[in-house]
Amino acid sequence: MSSTRNVKPPVFNPLTGAIRALAMDAVQKANSGHPGAPMGMAEIAEVLWRRHLRHNPANPRWADRDRFVLSNGHGSMLIYALLHLTGYDLSIDDLKAFRQLHSKTPGHPEVGYTPGVETTTGPLGQGITNAVGMALAEKILADTFNRPGHRVVDHHTYVFLGDGCLMEGISHEACSLAGTWGLGKLIAFYDDNDISIDGHVGGWFTDDTPKRFEAYGWHVVCDVQGHDPVEIEAALKAAQAETGRPSLICCKTVIGAGAPNKQGGHDVHGAPLGAAEIEAARAYIGWTHPPFEIPADVYAAWDARTAGAAAEADWNTRFAVYAAEFPELAAEFTRRMAGDLPADWAAHVDAVLAQVTAKGETIATRKASQNSIEAYAPKLPELLGGSADLAGSNLTLWSGAKGVTRSTGGNYVYYGVREFGMAAIANGVSLHGGLIPYTATFLMFSEYARNALRMAALMKVRQIFVFTHDSIGLGEDGPTHQPVEQTASLRLIPNMDVWRPCDTTESAIAWAAAIERREGPSSLAFSRQNLPFQARSAGQIADIRRGGYILSEAGTPAQSAAAQAVIIATGSEVALAMAAQKQLADQGIAVRVVSMPSTNVFDRQDAAYRTSVLPVGVPRVAVEAGVTDGWYKYVGLDGAVIGVDRFGESAPAGELFKYFGITADAVAAAVKKVLA
């Protein structure tokens, strides 16, 4: 792209002045923040939010609202100013509390904190990727529910993004897919201001961005004067008219426009302007009002409540007509957008478990996972599956799977080799509502998706991460593909439930628990190799949902109190624990075997239950084919852990377990050692 900027300066007015003033005053009061993007994008924001965005400030959760994502989340005062001015439940006092503890205006937009914020942004590139997921959800739901003469799902997803988002590799992953899928309801505004934190981007970002997006299959509007409402309006209308391709509107802007001495440089990016520059800016833009004071006529010009209420009322009227003609579809749409499961879900799960236990199959838990999907998916049309080019290995396809295409919706997404993009797109799908996404790759490659996994947990989204090939048990692919520290590190993510089932029953329950969990994501770790079925009582099956339970008691029930030690195991190692228990019993040593498929869930149980499973004063040994450190919280420093504290090797799985000492003999020896 040309190095000549040729940016037309703004014609300042009270409407954009309100954005600029609120941004610079809030950042100054907090003595922290980023005034540059809000001031530089004020005209773009005014055109979109006052003239085009379909939303209702009184009901931020209206199902058919347009979605707006501020991908350059450091510019959070832009969205806070817009939400305040248009009438959301965000007061001027909330803006004064910018970046303060427990405020509704945190440093970066946080979903769940601020009415009208659709997703948490900050890690650059993830906002645009979430937006791709939202647009994908709109496409799928429209294909599912719309009927001739009834467009009950018909909204746009709008994104603001900057140079930083486009530098991040995840933007390439997501935007390439958006073009492939033909997401014509996705419109992104690129704030081309030539600045990032380190200065002018010419030293590290020289991509021809328009050509890159054209190559992705996007409709691109180049060289829009980002401070000229007429040009912005024309570009936006052209984007809305292009229904077969997503659109990128490249807006040339001046960062911090309105700050006469600092605009256009990196000093305005991420620091308060200072009292002197703010005073100069007020004079420069013609804003004569004190900090945090907005005139009534400006509020009135921005107020979107009347138009928003009318737009939602019109949709409600149209939806009522739709419901009269298609009552079952309308009820299903309402259920799914509310995030509710079918009324007979619990009974269905019970029936599935009865079938699973009756079969008693010895199969790989990745196959048990596929069987679970096959059993649950027909009951849950909102399930949206997908895999990062590993569908045949992750076993995430089922008999009713229908791939999403450019021209149709579906219930399965072929993401290609894009683990990070996949996870963040699915976050956006979940945030949109109406769908429950599950995504899949090898457990090892959770590393590529790591920050999106963290964001899922942070945002408390309902998403299911399927990770197969969960240990050195995958064998010959070797240490690059063998997870060692991954299960443990996933358990460390706050609000992430991690399940590592040992057989078909635990797999079915892990899937049910993940589907039912509304307050956060779940990671399910499954084996490549076959694992033996474990017989259980009805009470034991119920206790699986508690994360850890007594799988096999020492001796007979009457002798249960006589357990000399406890063996704790997960996944493929539960079978080793059971074999070790038998060995020790033959030697007159009575041990209890505890299966702990989810440490996270177990830790949330009450103290009495946890103590009933892991009695105080009874020596403990844990076994898991992964790093050992996390297990010492359960076995104590006097206990023992059998695991793998080094990288793997390339060899058949059976040989590897022997080589690394993950055997029944090793577990039995560890028990005897802690009892010595």
Catalytic residue positions?
419
CA dihedral over 288, 70, 247, 309, signed as positive or negative:
negative
**CA–CA dist 191, 173 (Å, integer):** 20
**CA–CA dist 124, 613 (Å, integer):** 44
Q: Give the closest residue to 165 by CA, choosing from 211, 124, 198.
A: 124
CA dihedral over 60, 62, 65, 68, signed as positive or negative:
positive
For residue 391, give the amino acid letter.
A
Q: How many Cβ atoms from other residues are within 10 Å of residue 51's Cβ?
A: 12
- Residue 404's φ and ψ, nearest 5 degrees, are -70, 135
For residue 544, give the amino acid letter.
I
Dihedral angle over CA of 170, 173, 177, 180, nearest 10: 140
Contact 454, 493 (CB under 8 A): yes
How far is Cα of residue 202 from the mean position of the Cα atoms in its chain?
32
| CA distances in angstroms from 567 to 547, 591, 622, listed in the order given | 15, 7, 6
Angle value at C-alpha 555, between 636 and 591, nearest 5 degrees = 20
In sequence order, the 6+-apart residues with CB closer than 8 A to the CB of 100 are 30
How far is Cα of residue 477 from the mean position of the Cα atoms in its chain?
29
Instruction: Compute the half-sphere exposure of residue 662: CA atoms within 13 Å on the CB side of its CA.
Output: 29
Which strand ranges, in their side-by-side order, compose the sheet holding 412-414?
A: 412-414, 383-387, 436-442, 464-468, 522-525, 497-499
Contact 33, 295 (CB under 8 A): no
**CA–CA dist 553, 615 (Å, integer):** 12
Helices first, then strands: H and E counts in the chain: 28, 20
In sequence order, the 6+-apart residues with CB closer than 8 A to the CB of 203 are none
Angle value at C-alpha 496, between 157 and 540, nearest 5 degrees = 130
